[in-house]
Structure 1
Amino acid sequence: MNALDTVLYTAKTHTIGGREGHARSDDGQLDVALSPPGSRRPGTNPEQLFAAGWSACFEGAMGIAARKLGVALPSGTAIDAEVDLGKVGEEYQLQARLAISLPGVPPAQAQAIVDEAHRTCPYSKLSRGNIEVRIRLV
């Protein structure tokens, strides 16, 4: 893997206590309690954070893809992301699903937008070949 030619942004966080701790960004914009999935304790978990980050990044990539195709994303564009934490044998593993809504966009054009976004989105690149991913238009 090659190092980045240009660093556009560096996210910095400090986490203590793991899944039962706290995470805070250096600028204070992210300041969250952490709790294990399904624990019903206050806080979020890494899987929720990953789902939120990926879906936000993916929608940004769809905007770029749509502009390349000469169309605008509709105002009702939405992504429902699901990230599963599970095991394969004794090893922990993730799998993910993105359900994408592009209301009013013709199916072939919507698929082209999604395909290009999946090709270029940094989160998609991170997951490609590493976890099971399903992306579908709804």
Structure 2
Amino acid sequence: MNTLYTAKVLAVGGRNGTVRSDDGLLDIKVALPPALGGKGDATNPEQLFAAGFASCFENAVIHVARNKASKVNDDDIEVTAAVGIGPNQAGGFGLSVSLDVTIAGLNQADAEEVVKAAHTACPYSNAVKGNIDVAIKVNTR
């Protein structure tokens, strides 16, 4: 693979610590959410993963939609990502992901076709393929 960009982030203190990118643009506290026994007074790795997946997947949808006859504006696409965490069968933990994609200006069949192609193009989708099942719901408006 010819790497086009590399993000580098330092984590200190695990789930009750801080994360900081090498360029300083990301510099935040992380905390264990209340559902996992923490205070929940800061963001957590699952929220950060959901944010990355949602924005990356939305960009993949934008990319695919641009190549369709029916053009949609970037603001006509919304993606909500939900990332869950729970115990797995190996005694560790696993993640679940669901994506709720809404596209204005396309009919349901075209929207589903665009999202299917985006799921093939998205680096996050490709990274989790075969390891995390991704449930995708497609809506139009």
Whether the aligned pair in 1 keeps the contact of 2:51 and 2:81 (CA below 8 Å) is yes
- Give the corresponding residue for 2:47: 48
Q: Is the 8 A contact 1:63 1:72 kept in 2?
A: no
Which structure 2 residues correspond to residues 32-47 of structure 1 after superposition, within 5 A?
32-38=28-34, 39-47=38-46
CA distance in 1 between partners of 2:20 and 2:70 (Å):
38
Aligned with 2:9 (options 6, 13, 22):
13
Displacement after TM superposition at 1:77 (Å): 1.6
Q: Which amino acid aligns with 1:125?
A: N
Name the count of aligned residue pairs. Answer: 134
Deviation for aligned residue 1:80: 1.2
Long gaps (5+) in structure 2: none
Kept in 2: contact 1:98–1:134 (CA 8 A): yes
- Structure 1: gaps spanning 5 or more residues: none
Alignment correspondent of 2:66: 67
Residue 116 of structure 1 aligns to a residue in which SS?
A: helix
Q: Partner of 1:61: helix, strand, or coil?
A: helix
- Aligned-partner SS, 2:120: helix
* Structural mapping, 1:1-138, within 5 Å: 4=1, 6-38=2-34, 39-74=38-73, 75-89=75-89, 90-138=91-139
Q: d(CA) in 2 for partners of 1:70 and 1:31?
A: 41
TM-score by length of 2: 0.89
Secondary structure, counterpart of 2:79 in structure 1: strand
Is the CA contact (8 Å cut-off) linking 2:46 and 2:83 kept in structure 1? yes
In 1, the alpha carbon distance for the partners of 2:25 and 2:69 equals 34
Q: Give the superposition deviation at 1:40.
A: 3.6
Code of the aligned partner of 2:130: G
Identity of matched residues, %: 40
